[in-house]
Amino acid sequence: MELPFAESYKIKMVETIERSTREEREKWIKEAKFNLFNLKSEQVFIDLLTDSGTGAMSDKQWSAMMLGDESYAGASSYYKLKNTIKELLGFEYFLPTHQGRAAENVLFSALIKEGDIIPGNSHFDTTKGHIEFRKAKAIDCTIDEAFDTEIDHPFKGNVDLNKLENTIKKYTPEKIPFIILTVTCNSSGGQPVSIENMKGIRAIADKYKIPVYYDSARFAENAYFIKLREKAYENKTVKEIVKEMFSYADGMTMSSKKDAIVNMGGFIALRSEEVFKKATVFNIIFEGYITYGGMSGRDMNALAQGLDEGTEFDYLNTRIRQVAYLGQKLTDYGISVQKPYGGHAIFIDATKFLPNVPKEQYIAQTLAVELYLEAGIRGVEIGTLLADRDPETRENRYPALELLRLAIPRRVYTNNHMDVIAVALKNVFDRRDQITKGFNILEEAPIMRHFTVELERVK
């Protein structure tokens, strides 16, 4: 008999999580103004709000923390991380930042000016926020297949090279300080970009002399998918694939809270000394001195170890198979999710799940609230609330997909938790005909409103 699959780690420390009654949850979600970000963590049984900073560090990461060097300048922890980045990712220059959006803030301060155009593949919301904050514009050049959840394309994060070239021609290369490629592409469902596509983007970028940066939060998951899905790479190690991926980039921003499995941290890595020098000025103003930039020495040590562990096949195989396990259960229950299953999360097609809720009433948010009420599970809306209003017209932007994201923290939950999530969703799905009303907005912020929005039920 073939041995079944099992996790590539065992558990050394545990944390209690609290169950609650539906009555309690009704009260709490009302107090939270139907915004799941406002819930206290103890009001949540299984927390799938994000895979960012919520992973479990390993014994080796915790022990690396004890060796952290907290010197203001020239700490050994800085050099340790610098060497890991050089060896693993191939970049000569690096700046630590406190998280991913801070890396965006620093790099974009050095590179973007008003009126610029930044093409890419479904920019993440903080990336788009930092672009629009500088009165520049993000243009989405993702392949059309990404916007149909049922099409089984192996690389739904890919850029449509024609869309990219047409964008460059339309706006002229002078208006485009760089192209940004998000790996994996969070906004289209944790979907990977192929090496072939990276090479194609590089060729176009070279033709028009435009730099390419990767938003790399989930670069290791992207490399894992390349190994599994891109024939020429099946015999390469994840680390070899990672090195090749970044060889087509001029630099990267990183949210270390994802694939580097730490609770806080980020960085910028670069090939150009000139860009490094420009970015350094902003790093010192916004983040801290060059050799710590928003991170403590111990955190840089844990990050260096996390980058190494996070690019090991066995770890990635355990993680991504767990995500697929949940995806398959939901599919078996007849629930429509983004396919193929993403690296860090399952994305439920909320429009198909709740066909009776009008889009003006925030369909995916309605599903998120229903799932919380059902079993204390917290997912996150990736739909109209997240898409914000158009900065010029102030009208709601209705995205191509209205999704509920169930992000799976790394090394945190077991497959028993996945079973609970799947059944909870099935129960909501079975009563979907009775769910006909969503929410109205009571109050919202001018940008990134989803974090703080206050809602009321449509009567």
Marked catalytic residue, from 51, 116, 215, 388? 215
Minimum Å gap between C-beta 249 and ligand F0G is: 15
Assign 3-class secondary structure to the chain.
CCCCCCCCCCCCCCCCCCCCCHHHHHHHHHHCCCCHHHCCHHHCCEECCCCCCCCCCCHHHHHHHHCCCCCCCCCHHHHHHHHHHHHHHCCCEEEEECCHHHHHHHHHHHHCCCCCEEEECCCCHHHHHHHHHCCCEEEECECHHHHCCCCCCCCCCCECHHHHHHHHHHHCHHHCCCEEEECCECCCCCECCCHHHHHHHHHHHHHHCCCEEEECCCHHHHHHHHHHHCHHHCCCCHHHHHHHHHHCCCEEEEECCCCCCCCCCEEEEECCHHHHHHHHHHHHHHCCCCCCCCCCHHHHHHHHHHHHHHCCHHHHHHHHHHHHHHHHHHHHCCCCECCCCCCCEEEEEHHHHCCCCCHHHCHHHHHHHHHHHHHCEECEEECHHHHCECCCCCCECCCCCCEEEEECCCCCCCHHHHHHHHHHHHHHHHCHHHCCCCEEEEECCCCCHHHCCEEEECC
Minimum CB distance to ligand F0G, residue 338 (Å): 14
**Smallest separation, CB 257 to ligand F0G (Å):** 5
Is 124 a binding residue for ligand F0G by CB under 6 A? The answer is yes
What's the rounded Cα separation, in Å, for the pair 113 and 106? 13
Q: Is 125 a catalytic residue?
A: yes
Does 52 contact ligand F0G by CB under 6 A?
yes
Q: Is 459 exposed, middle or buried (0-12, 13-18, 19+ CB in 10 A)?
A: exposed
**Looking only at residues 237 through 256 of this chain, which bind ligand F0G when binding is defined by CB under 6 A?**
255
Contact call for residue 25 and ligand F0G (CB under 6 A): no
101 lines the binding site for ligand F0G (CB under 6 A): yes
Q: Which residue among the candidates 30, 72, 135, 170 is catalytic per the annotation? A: 72
| Closest separation in Å from C-beta 174 to ligand F0G | 26
309 near ligand F0G, rule: CB under 6 A? no
Question: Given 93, 124, 178, 219, which residue is catalytic?
Answer: 124
For residue 340, say if its preceding peptide bond is cis, omega within 30 degrees of 0.
yes
Looking at the Cβ atoms of 126 and 361, the one nearer to ligand F0G is: 126
The span of 94-102, 145-153, 156-164, 410-418 binding ligand F0G (CB under 6 A) equals: 94-102
Is 332 labeled as catalytic in the residue annotation?
no
What type of residue sits at position 241?
A: I
Within 10 A of 41 (CB to CB), how many other CB atoms are there? 10
Tokens of 182: 């998000």
Q: How far is the CB of 5 from ligand F0G (least distance, A)?
A: 26
294 binds ligand F0G (CB under 6 A): no
Binding residue for ligand F0G, selected from 96, 100, 120, 383, defined by CB under 6 A = 100
Query: Near ligand F0G by CB under 6 A, which window of 11-19, 95-103, 316-324, 363-371?
Result: 95-103
Residue 107, both tokens: 């790099």
List the catalytic residue out of 136, 205, 217, 269. Answer: 217
Candidates 67-75, 76-84, 96-104, 194-202; binding stretch for ligand F0G (CB under 6 A): 96-104
Nearer to ligand F0G, 126 or 311 (CB): 126
Q: How many CB atoms lie within 10 A of CB 355?
A: 12
The answer to the question of residue 122 lying near ligand F0G (CB under 6 A) is no
- Catalytic residue status for 215: yes
Phi, psi of 389 (to 5 degrees): -95, 155
CB of residue 126 to ligand F0G, shortest distance in Å:
4
Of 80-88, 120-128, 239-247, 389-397: span binding ligand F0G (CB under 6 A): 120-128
282 binds ligand F0G (CB under 6 A): no
Stretch that binds ligand F0G, among 124-132, 148-156, 197-205, 237-245 (CB under 6 A): 124-132
Over the window 199 to 218, marking each residue x when it contacts ligand F0G by CB under 6 A and - when it does not, the resulting string is: ----------------x-x-
Under rule CB under 6 A, residue 227 binds ligand F0G: no
Nearer to ligand F0G, 266 or 306 (CB): 266
Among 99, 351, 365, 366, binds ligand F0G (CB under 6 A): 99
Q: Establish whether 350 is a catalytic residue.
A: no
Nearer to ligand F0G, 110 or 435 (CB): 110
| Interface contacts to ligand F0G, rule CB under 6 A | 50, 52, 99-101, 124, 126-127, 182, 186, 215, 217, 255, 257, 266
Catalytic residues, by residue number, are 72, 124-125, 215, 217, 258, 450
